[in-house]
């Protein structure tokens, strides 16, 4: 994973931590360490986190100083070197999109693109990003802003398609209801005609009976 790309600030943190891990024979940094580094990079300057690593790394500690998560608490407690009042806690969707995007990129990216990456992961699902990356690759473009623009187009196209489907469905149901209303009206008219004709026949029958009864009396 660490062969993949990441933000330049996260790279500085990971390189700093790895230098101590190698020195003391500790484990290499992992994908989870990268996620934490990006979360910290979103809110704090890299030099602040690197200073914490230098200060608090203790190879004899049993609290895992070889992991980036160890430096979250002191960073937030001291709360210096903040560049953004907001914080980013990656969701599963964020992590999935991050991995896919950083495998696609051909170079590390700056802070503005890190913020854009967060916006992308909050706005689109993983399938949309995969489709956007395929289109970007086919045009030989490798950048987060470009994937973002392509994803916007894909989302807009999907929304138009959904709107068209909903419009057709509404038209179908409206037409069906109108047809049923017309059908009911014709049935009602036919019933009234039948009743009217039946009434006429009853009147004629009554007249005929009275006439026959009168003839018998005469």
Rg of the chain's alpha carbons, rounded to an integer?
38
Give the three-state DSSP class for 94.
Answer: helix
- Strand ranges, E, within 113-188: none
What letter would DSSP give residue 104? H
Give me the count of residues in the chain: 218
Give yes or no for a contact between 136 and 31, defined as CB atoms under 8 angstroms apart: no
Q: What is the pLDDT of residue 89?
A: 96
Give residue-wise pLDDT tens across range 2-60: 668 999 999 999 999 999 999 999 988 999 999 999 999 999 999 999 999 999 999 99
Give yes or no for a contact between 111 and 41, defined as CB atoms under 8 angstroms apart: yes
Give residue-wise pLDDT tens across range 140-191: 999 999 999 999 999 888 777 666 666 666 655 565 566 555 555 556 656 6
The domains of the chain are located at: 8-96, 124-218
């Amino acid at each position: 994973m660490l062969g993949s790309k990441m933000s330049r600030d996260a790279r500085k943190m990971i390189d700093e931590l790895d230098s101590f891990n190698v020195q003391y024979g500790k484990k290499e940094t992992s994908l989870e360490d990268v996620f934490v580094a990006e979360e910290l990079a979103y809110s704090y300057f890299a030099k602040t986190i690197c200073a914490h690593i230098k200060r608090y790394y203790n190879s004899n500690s049993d609290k895992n100083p070889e992991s980036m998560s160890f430096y979250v608490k002191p960073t937030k407690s001291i709360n210096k070197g903040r560049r953004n009042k907001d914080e980013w806690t990656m969701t599963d969707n964020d992590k999935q999109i991050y991995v896919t995007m950083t495998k696609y990129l051909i170079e590390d990216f700056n802070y503005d693109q890190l913020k854009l990456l967060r916006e992308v992961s909050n706005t689109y699902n993983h399938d949309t990003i995969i489709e956007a990356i395929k289109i970007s690759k086919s045009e030989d473009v490798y950048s987060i802003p470009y994937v973002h623009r392509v994803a916007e187009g894909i989302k807009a196209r999907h929304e138009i398609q959904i709107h068209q489907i909903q419009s057709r469905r509404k038209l179908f149901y409206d037409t069906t209801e109108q047809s049923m209303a017309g059908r009911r009206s014709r049935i009602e008219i036919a019933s009234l005609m039948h009743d009217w004709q039946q009434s006429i026949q009853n009147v004629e029958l009554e007249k005929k009976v009275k006439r026959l009864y009168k003839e018998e009396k005469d």
